[in-house]
Amino acid sequence: GKLHMSTNAAFPPYEMVADGEGFEGTGYEGIDVEIAYAIAQKLGLELVVDDMDFTAALEAAQSGKSDMVMAGVTVNEDRLAVMDFSESYATGVQVVIVTEDSPITTLDDIEGKLIGTQKGTTGFTYASDTPENGGYGEDAVIGFDNGLSAVQALKNGQVDCVIIDNAPAQTFVAENPGLKILDTEWVTEDYAIGVAKGNTALLDAINGALDELIADGTVQSIIDTYITAE
Ligand code: GLN
């Protein structure tokens, strides 16, 4: 009777710990939480949000400890090898956060600088890749437990920039004066719901519900509630 969603509720505006009861009493709020709730309703299940580290949230779905991971999860080949994904419901763009007075104004300026990312994310993977593959090398990258810790390290001068998804970047910059996002967009990605590999019954059920929620405009209206069009 329950649909367990594993997530890392430190990724605004996709998932955040709520001050009070949260969305529909889940204790959490955000785009993923509301979409997950709508899917659970369609399937006649009660949504339970399980908050943990990002990597643990992926692993929970892979091992079946949770039914699905929704955490602004980017679909990529590495993950497709170990889990199955629903159709995509949103896109993300990797961006670079710097201090307002930063000497970094383009992606090229990042060479020789220290980059903060969140552990286990695509931002970490791209940034730590070899220069031949468009990265800056492992030694240039520090992986923090979550995006906010990376942003705090930037404010403290421990790193020179933070590479992270656009939506949380906007939130962190709005909440922390003295920071800005570089104009250069890096990589565009698709977000989807991850489930254990081979669990086609669950994946079909999720995709069926998600299809309807996309078709009737529910998904877009949830996204529009949290992300104002520029
Ligand atoms: N979209 C990124 C990824 O999937 C970051 C997700 C997150 O930090 N919650 O790796």
Helix (H) or strand (E) holding 48: strand 46-51
* pLDDT at res. 186: 75
* Beta carbon of 84 within 6 Å of any ligand 1 atom: no
In angstroms, what is the span from residue 74 Cα to ligand 1's centroid? 6
In angstroms, what is the span from residue 71 Cα to ligand 1's centroid? 7
Mean per-residue pLDDT over the chain, rounded:
96
40-97 pLDDT, tens digit each = 999 999 999 999 999 999 999 999 999 999 999 999 999 999 999 999 999 999 999 9
* pLDDT at res. 217: 98
* pLDDT at res. 187: 82
* 32: pLDDT strictly greater than 90: yes
* Beta carbon of 28 within 6 Å of any ligand 1 atom: no
Average confidence (pLDDT) over 29-33: 98
Calculate helix-pair angle for 218-226, 200-215, nearest 10 degrees: 80
* pLDDT at res. 229: 63
- Is residue 177 a contact partner of residue 100, using CB atoms and an 8 Å limit? no
**In ligand 1, which atom is closest to the CA atom of 120?**
10
Structure tokens given for 194: 């991850």
Pairs from 58-62 (Cβ < 8 Å, separation ≥ 24) = 58/6, 58/83, 58/120, 58/194, 60/6, 61/6, 61/194, 61/195, 61/196, 62/194, 62/196, 62/197
Better-scored residue on pLDDT, 49 or 134: 49
- Is residue 194 a contact partner of residue 76, using CB atoms and an 8 Å limit? no
151-196 pLDDT, tens digit each = 999 999 999 999 999 999 999 999 999 999 999 877 889 999 999 9
* 230: pLDDT strictly greater than 60: no
Q: Model-level pTM?
A: 0.95
Q: Which of 39-48, 100-109, 128-137, 182-191 has the lowest mean pLDDT?
A: 182-191
**In ligand 1, which atom is closest to the CA atom of 122?**
10
- Is residue 87 a contact partner of residue 209, using CB atoms and an 8 Å limit? no
Distance CA 59, CA 50 (A): 12
